[in-house]
Amino acid sequence: MGINITCAEIQSNVGFVYVVLPVIMNNTNNPDCEQSWHLQDGRLIADPSDPQRLIDPVISVSSDRLVTSRCVNLNYQIICDSADGSHFSHEIMFRVRNETAATPISDVLNEASPQHSDQLWWLLAVFIIIALAFFCFLLRKRILRTLMKVRSDDPHAVQESEQLKAPEIKV
């Protein structure tokens, strides 16, 4: 099962709160269940049975939620084996999108990347292309005016075109 959320949806004043659905928790009120939280790359970062042993970015863990200091993609896993031989396992993949500036560290691996950053790069590229096109248009106009003045029979035009050139600096 996958849950797609934004960082803003899970952000609280204590950090980013990932909540396990009550439906799953109700089906697993079995003491033989093992729960674990993993980063996207599979590294174990928290186990609710050992809430004192937490790995960055985890702040706290309980049986139904995990709180982190950064907005990251996570996997929650629960495996239940009961004495009667029944087996239950479930995995939830939390996939987050950072649409806010809520996460102060954006270059950390496995962190949600800003969705708007691609749009900003495209807008910047379009702006630069338009600016270059406008500059070329103005430059073309100036060159054409200079050429027309040079080609004219007016002797003053040649002098004016010479004045348009940058002055030479003699050393």
| Closest CA relative to residue 33, chosen from 21, 48, 23 | 48
Q: What integer pLDDT is reported at residue 143 of this predicted model?
A: 79
- Indicate the pTM of the whole model: 0.54
Residue 110: which residues within 8 A CB-CB, separation 6 or more? 39, 40, 41, 72, 73
Q: What integer pLDDT is reported at residue 110 of this predicted model?
A: 44
pLDDT mean by block of 10 residues, the chain; 171 residues: 89 92 63 85 90 90 90 90 77 84 44 57 88 87 74 57 58 57
Q: CA-CA distance, 5 to 83, in Å (whole number)?
A: 37
Residue 58: which residues within 8 A CB-CB, separation 6 or more? 37, 45, 46, 66, 67, 68, 69
> Looking at domain 2-114, which of 3.40.50.2300, 3.40.80.10, 3.30.1490.20, 2.60.40.10 is its CATH number?
2.60.40.10
Residue that has been written with the tokens 């139904």 in this structure: 64
CATH 2.60.40.10 domain residues, the chain: 2-114
Q: What integer pLDDT is reported at residue 101 of this predicted model?
A: 47
Q: What integer pLDDT is reported at residue 96 of this predicted model?
A: 92
Q: What integer pLDDT is reported at residue 60 of this predicted model?
A: 92
Determine how many CB atoms are found less than 10 A away from the CB of residue 99. Answer: 14
Q: What integer pLDDT is reported at residue 43 of this predicted model?
A: 92
Q: CA-CA distance, 53 to 65, in Å (whole number)?
A: 15
| Closest CA relative to residue 47, chosen from 59, 37, 55, 33 | 37
Q: CA-CA distance, 61 to 48, in Å (whole number)?
A: 6
Residue 73: which residues within 8 A CB-CB, separation 6 or more? 39, 40, 93, 94, 95, 96, 110, 111, 112
**Residue 41 and residue 75 in contact, taking contact as beta carbons nearer than 8 Å:** no
The tokens for 140 are 């073309």
Residue 97: which residues within 8 A CB-CB, separation 6 or more? 4, 5, 6, 7, 112, 115
